[in-house]
Structure 1
Amino acid sequence: MPKNDRSPHFTSAAPLPKVDVAHTAFLLDFDGTLVDIAPQPDAVHVCAPLRETLAALHAACGGALAVISGRTVHDLESLLALPGLVIAGVHGAERRYADGSFVRLNTDADVLAELERELRAELTQLPGVMLESKGIAFALHYRHTPDAENTVLALADRLAHRYSDHIRLQAGKMVVELKPRGASKGDVVHTLMTERPFMGRTPLFAGDDLTDESAFDAVNALDGWSIKIGNGPSQALWRVHDPAALRTWLAAMVADRRGGA
């Protein structure tokens, strides 16, 4: 049965499919997908076996591997340390390609500076809520103060309306972000799939959060493999329990590839 013949609201409980590495484009979220969610962004841990798996997968698929994340490109480069990896950061607002070239959406630095000043002033009244500045986007983390959720969302919504010519609101797991207009993981998927070495392959995207739903939609439209990590409703067609399960699947795929070779 063709992959996209399933209802977009159905997520398979069956084991993940066996994919042809040589003809698949691997597009992967980071936090909550490749690595476990940490109490705060700078506490995340990338284990050596994951680095080894990604390096082997990168080689096996001819470089058609990209990490698409809300983190900055610089942050992901530091954490993964995999030369030649394509990285889309800040939900696609910035990208680093395999040849080292870097592109970023045009933004108004003065407007973003004013937005950051206003956020910092507002958060003095919200102890426990952490502001993560990404230069061209801002994340409000309330994992340590879940009771502040409604207040944080209301603040973000108000500012998103005020600065609507420049930013959009993006909700996530215990976080809400104000990101540049035009930044979408779904758009990243569509763009990469028109570029080498991704074009002509079947796209596979794995993600865990609301920020990943546009990428699931894009992959489904391309008759690819969409994989949700964890619980909750999703447009993804497949599901695994946690990041450890996805890491195990990727490692087994690489091992099978080596065995076949």
Structure 2
Amino acid sequence: MGDAGPPPLIDPARDALFLDFDGTLVELAARPDAIDVPDLLIDRLHRLAERLDNRLAIVSGRDIATLDSFGVGKLALAGSHGAQWRLADGSQGTTTAPAGLDDARAQFRQFAASHEGVIFEDKPLGTALHYRLAPEQQDACQSLAACLSHQWGFHIQHGHAMVELRQGGIDKGTAIRQLLEKSPFAGSRPIFAGDDVTDEAGFDAVEWAGGHGVLVGASRPSAARYRLPSVHQVNEWLSATLNR
């Protein structure tokens, strides 16, 4: 799946909408802190959440504090690949940091400092190396991550020119399933849009719950039933719901 054409319009009466952030709502950037978050997008998301009676959630690898800084703090959020969640009413939950995280952070930070172009990203419940600016360091970054995973039992999460270590057993799919058990998401038909391999668990989750996934970007093997080729077309699809 993943190349069956564009998705149908969102039905405000029955659908719940789950959205990845980077690469789905905003364009990817060379550095995680260099993305452009237009005010128009934030306004669109809040108006769409109102139209859906708050059945809209951002489901991201970024932590909730960072998502808050983009202006989406009034929306339901699942951060750190599902290790954190907060509903629009303020209720929230989080998992504990995995053992060995401080050691992994220190080694990732040291590696980035000694390899030009590699970027260290610190997260409350994980740690990551980005090698978009130094693609020749991909094997070295992944080798270090594999070594630390073997030592501490971390889950290795690969993404767009990055590798992340985090706690196992938690992903965007478990986050969506958890939110679907809570009001106002319970009983709705879930739709999840995402662009990365990290989003595949979310696509599986919404299919399992009677909804569908929307792959964003180039065609590739995916559990998503539909596809939108770009961030721009995702935002056009969202706008169409507001105009229907």
Shift of residue 38, structure 1, vs aligned partner: 1.2
Shift of residue 123, structure 1, vs aligned partner: 3.3
Shift of residue 100, structure 1, vs aligned partner: 1.8
SS of equivalent to 2:136? helix
Contact persistence 1:55–1:82 (CA under 8 A): no
Contact persistence 2:112–2:129 (CA under 8 A): no
SS of equivalent to 1:34? coil
Q: Distance in 2 between matches of 1:63 and 1:214?
A: 23
Match of 1:96 in 2: 86
Confirm or deny that 1:41 pairs with 2:32. yes
Contact persistence 1:90–1:183 (CA under 8 A): no
Confirm or deny that 1:148 pairs with 2:134. no
Contact persistence 1:206–1:229 (CA under 8 A): yes
The answer to which of 58-67 and 149-158 deviates more is: 149-158
Which of 118, 142, 151 is the matching residue for 2:107? Answer: 118
SS of equivalent to 1:22? coil
SS of equivalent to 1:21? coil
Contact persistence 1:219–1:225 (CA under 8 A): yes
Computed over aligned residues only, the root mean square deviation of the Cα atoms, in angstroms, reads 1.5
The gaps in structure 1 that reach 5 residues or longer are 1-9, 257-261
Q: Distance in 2 between matches of 1:46 and 1:141?
A: 20
Q: TM-score, normalised by structure 1?
A: 0.89
Which of 207, 220, 229 is the matching residue for 2:194? Answer: 207
Contact persistence 2:49–2:55 (CA under 8 A): yes
Shift of residue 82, structure 1, vs aligned partner: 4.5
Tell me the matched-pair count: 243
Shift of residue 126, structure 1, vs aligned partner: 2.3
Contact persistence 1:93–1:182 (CA under 8 A): no
Confirm or deny that 1:185 pairs with 2:172. yes
The answer to which of 96-105 and 54-63 deviates more is: 96-105
Match of 1:253 in 2: 241
Confirm or deny that 1:169 pairs with 2:156. yes
Confirm or deny that 1:86 pairs with 2:76. yes
Structure 1 outlier segments of 4+, above 4 Å: none
SS of equivalent to 2:23? coil
Match of 1:6 in 2: none
Shift of residue 203, structure 1, vs aligned partner: 0.1
Q: Distance in 2 between matches of 1:61 and 1:16?
A: 17
SS of equivalent to 2:156? strand
Q: Between the two proteins, what is the percent identity of the paired residues?
A: 37
The answer to which of 15-24 and 32-41 deviates more is: 15-24
Shift of residue 71, structure 1, vs aligned partner: 0.5
Structure number with greater Rg is 1
Q: Distance in 1 between matches of 2:96 and 2:61?
A: 17
Q: Distance in 2 between matches of 1:91 and 1:17?
A: 26
SS of equivalent to 1:126? coil
Confirm or deny that 1:129 pairs with 2:136. no
Q: Distance in 2 between matches of 1:71 and 1:99?
A: 20
C-alpha distance 81-191 of structure 1, shift in aligned 2 (>3 A): closer
Match of 1:221 in 2: 208
Contact persistence 2:18–2:58 (CA under 8 A): yes
Question: How do 1:23-34 residues align onto structure 2 when only pairs under 5 Å count?
Answer: 23-34=14-25
Q: Distance in 2 between matches of 1:108 and 1:19?
A: 37
* Counterpart code for 1:241: P
Q: Distance in 2 between matches of 1:104 and 1:128?
A: 32
* Counterpart code for 1:30: F
Shift of residue 124, structure 1, vs aligned partner: 4.0
